[in-house]
Structure 1
Amino acid sequence: MLPGIVWFFLFSYVPLYGIQVAFRDFMFSGGFTGSPWAGLKYFRQFFDYYQSFEIIRNTIVISLMKLLIGFSLPIILAILLNEIRNVKFKKTVQTLSYLPYFVSWIVVVTLMQRLLTPYGGPVNELLGAFGVEPIQFLNNTSWFYQIIVGSDIWKNIGWNSIIYMAAIAGIDQQLYEAAKIDGASRFRQIWHVTLPGIRNIAVILFILATGSLMSAGYEQLLLLNGPATAAIGSVLDVHVINSGINEGRLSYAAAVGLFQSVIAFILILTVNRIARKISDVSLF
């Protein structure tokens, strides 16, 4: 455990010293401790910003859609893969589902632009063969959420299913044998053996996933959001990077980032407490 403990200490706990930037008028010449104290100045600036509510709303809506739609699909994929008896086909499907996770969002978005463009893209050409007019999928508010959630699921579903595959592999095979003797069908075995066997893992991962409700995904939204979709696509992650890097407002960006982290921490504690009362499964 020592390498992991050292890594988290160096990269997760030592940087907490820099949180004070959110409460100071940070200057490079003064550093963390030499910059003037500003208190809650930059937090007030964010909440006084005319788009702050819109940005928070967009972040929660997109994150909630990803969570509600994308959380269950890796479980379904893991169960389906577990039911495949052809080993070669199973490994092929696993490999194909894992690969998108290792592809950069820049490559994914470029691929989507080539496929979905109304100017000669294969998707629109196929639709045109059925008499459908070309559709502007990207930079279109009518398709924005579908594109964001769909591409996120396509990229991460295989990778997220790995832990469920491991949990299923750890289920006692005697339970399946006993279910077969009792006359349970494949569906009944899934319902009464597989799902209860991975329930605890699913609950823990769901608790952790709720912490990302204030983080909709920086790279994806930066690349897929444009002026036409800014009203529903502007999120906290992109706002923090633009404020801190592009505009040089480091204290303001730190304050918004700290606000995200505090809300995420509160969400995890709340959902963890609810899960402990309902299912007796929790992080602590």
Structure 2
Amino acid sequence: MKDSLLGKRIWRHKLFYLFMLPGIVWFFLFSYVPLYGIQVAFRDFNFMGGFTGSPWAGMKYFQQFFDYYQSGTIIRNTIIISLMKLLIGFPMPIILAILLNEVHNRKFKKVVQTLSYLPYFVSWIVVITLMQRLLTPYGGPVNDMITTVFGTSPIQFMNNTSWFYQVVLGSDIWKNIGWNSIIYMAAISGIDQQLYEAAKIDGAGRFRQMWHVTLPGIRNIAVILLILATGSLMNAGYEQLLLLNGPATTAIGSVLDVHVITAGISEGRLSYAAAVGLFQSLIALILVVTVNQLARKYSDVSLF
């Protein structure tokens, strides 16, 4: 009986499932089929033997990573940078979406939206190059303004341990804030306007309307995205850190993503890189499941 009802519901909404099909196929091909390669982390992989012909190595490469003298530093740096992006970067798109919702000038609103979306489509190579030109102490506009207005010496922003985290966090927010705010803008547009009218009748100003109507209206979406974001706590963003990190900032800028890419591609240690990558994925899975359970317990919103 249940199977027949499920079949009828699927057939009734067949167009929606058809739209979902490309995404399902993409996830199957690029997220589930590659799981077959997990065994590389437990083998002494070589190209002659392939996935099935290479000899088993057990937990050798996991032990090798944890015995590495910099493994603790790399894990600590990854967690610190990811936590900063989560705690500071995650609320920024929500704030931007709420502020844009309060703008009544449509032309100004569209200009701000467009300008905030554009950096997302620019590669990190271009972003880092632009930052180097802007922040350089040798004629860069930012340092020229600092020396002119404050009369201080130029500041070395790039490859400086004192400014490294600020540069990483600032560039990440600038690049992603506009794009990430789209889903919150969509959620806000779906809030019943009668709730705002009722709040006005009760004497609520703009701030109280935001606090009591807008924020509760996007709460469920925010919780779901927060659950998903916790899964990237061990993923600090390899491309950004690969380009920003230098010899002077290695102590605080070496992260798991860059370590995996360096070991797997530059050094050809595929089994070792797969083991470290699997370690990242297992931690991400544990975090997502844990936060999902907490969200279900305290907010009645969850992924599963």
Judge same fold: TM > 0.5, yes or no: yes
In the alignment, structure 1 residue 17 sits paired with structure 2 residue 45 = no
Give the counterpart letter for 2:232 in structure 1: S
TM-score, normalised on structure 1? 0.99
Separation in structure 2 between the aligned mates of residue 171 and residue 131 of structure 1, nearest angstrom:
50
Separation in structure 2 between the aligned mates of residue 246 and residue 102 of structure 1, nearest angstrom:
27
Separation in structure 2 between the aligned mates of residue 229 and residue 25 of structure 1, nearest angstrom:
33
**Secondary structure of 2:232 counterpart:** coil
Identity %: 86
Separation in structure 2 between the aligned mates of residue 54 and residue 2 of structure 1, nearest angstrom:
42
Deviations 1:25-69, CA, capped at 9 Å, x for gaps: 001000100000000000000000000000000000000001000
Q: Which residue of 2 aligns with 1:46?
A: 65
Q: Quote the offset at 1:4 in angstroms.
A: 1.4
In the alignment, structure 1 residue 241 sits paired with structure 2 residue 261 = yes
Match of 1:149 among 162, 169, 174: 169
Q: Which residue of 2 aligns with 1:195?
A: 215
Match of 2:231 among 201, 205, 211: 211
**Secondary structure of 1:161 counterpart:** helix
Separation in structure 2 between the aligned mates of residue 204 and residue 29 of structure 1, nearest angstrom:
44
Separation in structure 1 between the aligned mates of residue 118 and residue 29 of structure 2, nearest angstrom:
30
Gaps of 5+ in 2: 1-19
Give the counterpart letter for 1:33 in structure 2: T
In the alignment, structure 1 residue 256 sits paired with structure 2 residue 272 = no
Give the counterpart letter for 1:50 in structure 2: Y
Q: Which residue of 2 aligns with 1:80?
A: 99
Q: Which residue of 1 aligns with 2:131?
A: 112
Q: Quote the offset at 1:119 in angstroms.
A: 0.9
Separation in structure 2 between the aligned mates of residue 99 and residue 177 of structure 1, nearest angstrom:
34
**Secondary structure of 1:25 counterpart:** coil
Separation in structure 2 between the aligned mates of residue 49 and residue 153 of structure 1, nearest angstrom:
32
Separation in structure 1 between the aligned mates of residue 61 and residue 102 of structure 2, nearest angstrom:
54
Give the counterpart letter for 2:28 in structure 1: F
Q: Which residue of 1 aligns with 2:114?
A: 95
Give the counterpart letter for 1:214 in structure 2: M
Q: Quote the offset at 1:246 in angstroms.
A: 0.3
Q: Quote the offset at 1:115 in angstroms.
A: 0.7
In the alignment, structure 1 residue 55 sits paired with structure 2 residue 46 = no
Q: Which residue of 1 aligns with 2:90?
A: 71
Q: Quote the offset at 1:127 in angstroms.
A: 1.0
Q: Quote the offset at 1:151 in angstroms.
A: 0.5
RMSD of aligned alpha carbons: 0.6
Q: Quote the offset at 1:7 in angstroms.
A: 1.2
TM-score, normalised on structure 2? 0.93
Q: Which residue of 1 aligns with 2:153?
A: 133
Q: Quote the offset at 1:5 in angstroms.
A: 1.2
Separation in structure 2 between the aligned mates of residue 226 and residue 21 of structure 1, nearest angstrom:
30
**Dislocated runs of 4+, deviation >4 Å:** none
